Amino acid sequence: MNRLAGEPGDADADVEAAKLRAALQSWGLFAVTGHGMPDPFLDEILAATRGFFHLPPEEKERYSNVVVANDGDGGGERFQTEGYGVDRVDTDEQILDWCDRLYLQHPAALRGLLEEYTRRSEQVFRRVLSATARSLGFGEEFFADKVGERVATYARFTYYPPCPRPELVYGLKPHTDNSVLTVLLLDKHVGGLQLLKDGRWLDIPIMSNGVFIAPVHRVVTSERERVSVVMFYQPEPHKDLAPSEELVDRRGAAGAIKAKDFGDGVWDAFAAGERTIDMLKVKIEQEEANVSNTYL
């Protein structure tokens, strides 16, 4: 991490940025070292995560992502993105995942740790973002300006229970994340994360630090339990998502979509097992159709 920082024109930082670019273009994932977060601190986060998921079901249900529906229809239940439980199930055909999640709500035991982790991993995120811009020959603020000062950070804790038939079910089905960058804190003892590269699924070896992910990935189950803590970084909700003019020859048909609209739809893509980028293309086309209809 430290080597990525440098004044404009700093040759060492340029060399590191070029390595970063190569990693992002070929793999979309890399291990982060030198981030300054001590191992005991990261261990504590993983232990607290495991501790939460080991609580009796009735304790965890206090954070449930299924809540009473206040839709005036006389009761019923409704899924909300936040909270503890399995992901939303839309159809009988949907591929289910062998995991429990805790998203955006944080029990007291995790809160303090998460605040500290949020502060420190945002520094990692910002440094990588600047280096990414640098590696493409832009000023360090190039992407940071697009993301905004108050980056939206979503923390997700995932528990993969021991699975007696790992050959039958994924921990998490193949997907891409919808974040600018994802910082992933991996279980130190049990692997399972796999990455799709040139049509083949490759195991990501266990590393003691976080990694960043952009490509299609999935998690396989095993007979041992596993946890992970994921931080998704997204632009401020009012920001436009669009290809940077500097990065495309011609803007062509690609339009913009609000970061919020994109984020709101990501569950649909995940539940359907679709790539987020494909969904983004469809959304942009729809938005453009709506705009042109307005002017007809």
CB of 185 to Fe ion, least distance (A): 13
Using CB under 6 A, which of 217, 220, 231, 259 touches ligand AKG?
A: 217
CB of 232 to Fe ion, least distance (A): 8
CB of 233 to Fe ion, least distance (A): 13
Binding at 24: pick from Fe ion, ligand AKG, none (beta carbon under 5-8 Å per type) = none
| Total residues in contact with ligand AKG, by rule CB under 6 A | 11
CB of 178 to Fe ion, least distance (A): 9
Bridge partners of residue 231, in order along the sequence: 155, 183
CA 118, chain centre distance (Å): 14
* Residues 6+ away with beta carbon under 8 Å from 87: 97, 101, 267, 270, 271
Q: Which is nearer to ligand AKG, 13 or 230 (CB)?
A: 230
CA distances (Å), origin 133, targets 91, 101, 235: 41, 33, 16
CB of 60 to ligand AKG, least distance (A): 18
CA 29, chain centre distance (Å): 12
Binding at 158: pick from Fe ion, ligand AKG, none (beta carbon under 5-8 Å per type) = ligand AKG
CB of 237 to ligand AKG, least distance (A): 20
Binding at 35: pick from ligand AKG, Fe ion, none (beta carbon under 5-8 Å per type) = none
Tell me the per-residue interface mask from 23 to 62 with ligand AKG, x by CB under 6 A, - otherwise. Answer: ----------------------------------------
Q: Which is nearer to ligand AKG, 163 or 230 (CB)?
A: 230
Tell me the per-residue interface mask from 165 to 184 with Fe ion, x by CB under 5 A, - otherwise. Answer: ------------x-------
Residues from 119 through 178 that contact ligand AKG (CB under 6 A): 156, 158, 172, 177
Q: Which is nearer to Fe ion, 97 or 177 (CB)?
A: 177
Structure tokens of 91? Answer: 């159809």
87 binds Fe ion (CB under 5 A): no
Binding at 173: pick from Fe ion, ligand AKG, none (beta carbon under 5-8 Å per type) = none
Q: Which is nearer to ligand AKG, 3 or 105 (CB)?
A: 105
3-state secondary structure the chain: CHHHCCCCCCHHHHHHHHHHHHHHHHCCEEECCCCCCCHHHHHHHHHHHHHHHCCCHHHHHHHECEEECCCCCCCCEEECCCEEECCCCCCCCCCCCCCEEEECCCCHHHHHHHHHHHHHHHHHHHHHHHHHHHHCCCCCHHHHHHHCCCCEEEEEEEEECCCCCCCCCEEEEEECCCCCEEEEEECCCCCCEEEEECCEEEECCCCCCCEEECCCEEEECCCCCEEEEEEEEECCCCCEECCCHHHCCCCCCCCCEEHHHHHHHHHHHHHHCCCHHHHHHHHHHHHHHHHHHHCC
Binding at 129: pick from ligand AKG, Fe ion, none (beta carbon under 5-8 Å per type) = none
Would you tell me which residues interact with Fe ion (CB under 5 A)?
A: 177
Would you tell me which residues interact with ligand AKG (CB under 6 A)?
A: 156, 158, 172, 177, 184, 186, 193, 217, 219, 228, 230
